[in-house]
Structure 1
Amino acid sequence: MKTRFPKKLQGFLSVACITLMSGCGTFLSDRVGGFSGIEEDVRIVKEPFYWLLTLGLIPMAAIVSMPVDLAVDIVLYPFDVWLKNSLRVKDTPRPVGYSAPLYSINLTGGGDFDYAIWTYYDAPRNNTDFTRVTALQQPDSYTARAVSAPSPGGPGKPVAGVINPARLFSRYPYNSETTYSFHTLGREYQGAEGERYRNTIKIKEAKLAPVDDVTDKSIIIVFMPCNELVLVRSDVPDYKPEALQLPGVQSLYKKLKKQSSLGKCPVPASTDKFVVVQG
């Protein structure tokens, strides 16, 4: 007498066979490089967690599906290589210690001032606060002095600070959510216990500007009326006075100067990104 499998069991076995032969690694891999399907199979087989939790079913499925995954990987190899190259960041990270001169120009109409750049600081614009001088010397803080623009052709030029340009820009155009804030620094004073402090006023907050690469030889930060600023990216290390005459700088400066004189400065949005001009 022949034994017949129940229809449900037959259906289950059919689905299992199709699943095994369809290529587990191909379905589970993220396909960001060549032979990612077979690499996913190998990763599953080497993972003790899968052996213990599934009683070896998933690793065995990965082993059985390896020939199919390998065949799929070979067919899709040109596509995988193209996809990997298209997702790659165009600019390779600079060596540790990469830095460039940072020139700070004051076009606000007021006197020169010291300022600090911090990562996200949860406070509204124009918020007053204070900070210890030692905190301004930490790796996550940057301080400099914004000075009036030197006369064109004159001997003087602003003193350059040094900063890693990658701190001011995002090399990932679709993921530039890091926020920096700029704060003016008041005069230094000493607290009751001998600690030194400086008052701060938050003047600007914006997200990193997305760029394809970060190869700048120098950066010029132009502080504008209405507490706005522009980052000018330069391909030379020396200060370029003509950078202030760039159309992107001049048009914004004239617009903000007029708005400031009328008391109609624009209200900043939380999604603002730094204005970047190529100089």
Structure 2
Amino acid sequence: MGSAVGRRLVVMENTQNTSTSTQAGPGLLAGKVALVTGAGRGIGAAAARLFAREGARVLLAARTEAQLKAVAEEVRVSGGIADHVVCDLADAASVRAAVDRAVDLYGRLDVAFNNGATGTPPGPLDRVREADFDHVYAVNLKGTWLAMAAEVAAIRATAGTGAIVNTSSVGSLMGNPELPAYAAMKRAVNSLTETAAVTYGPEGIRVNAIAPGTTLTEMLRQWDEDSPGVIERLNANTPLRRAADPDEIAQAAAWLLSDRASYVTGTVLRVDGGLRA
């Protein structure tokens, strides 16, 4: 940047980094700015709390503002730095605005965790309603694509290098007769992840995905209500014989976003208690 404005931005950016690192102390994500989608509950909320504990300044994004406010306030009470923005992943302008908000608030974007998703009622492929299929496509696949495109642009323009993690599902790694549309979109997310890793690796932007197994989220509990016994059956088929707490999934995302995973890109990491072993 040759202009006076550019020099001021660099000075401001460096000042912010030094201040944050000093306050946060050591941590996996110390000094980084993180965007988390689907941050109002479940894995996303656990990730927002964890990323802040690990030293990141976090922007929480989701559709339900009351949930976002509660989690952001919890982070701040615990000594972390967090704010929130309402974001509908099915709306391109909303997604771009959320990414822009992170840069406006904190001056940069270093890492992003694309965790927001929606589900469909369980059942075979021929019983999936077209409206449900279209919605899960718009949020889980198109929304992830929109977010990745905006995040790459923001990382490139501010931090220069960084990392993105997408939430996939262990259900994307096999035939899934109970959740066919959901699994199909998550398998497509795996492809987007691998393609982005190849595309942006030369710039120093790493892109990975995590594939959670049975995790105690609202979505899983809803599935168990619709199909009683699902959690028990999945746990019986999992070598660790239990479901994950959302924080256990967030831990994997934090590591992949951190500099400790500096040579990991293009990976779909199973965090499934051995379910697919």
**TM-score interval, normalised by the smaller of the two chains:** under 0.3
Task: Report the TM-score when normalising by structure 1.
Answer: 0.23
Higher Rg of the two aligned structures: 1
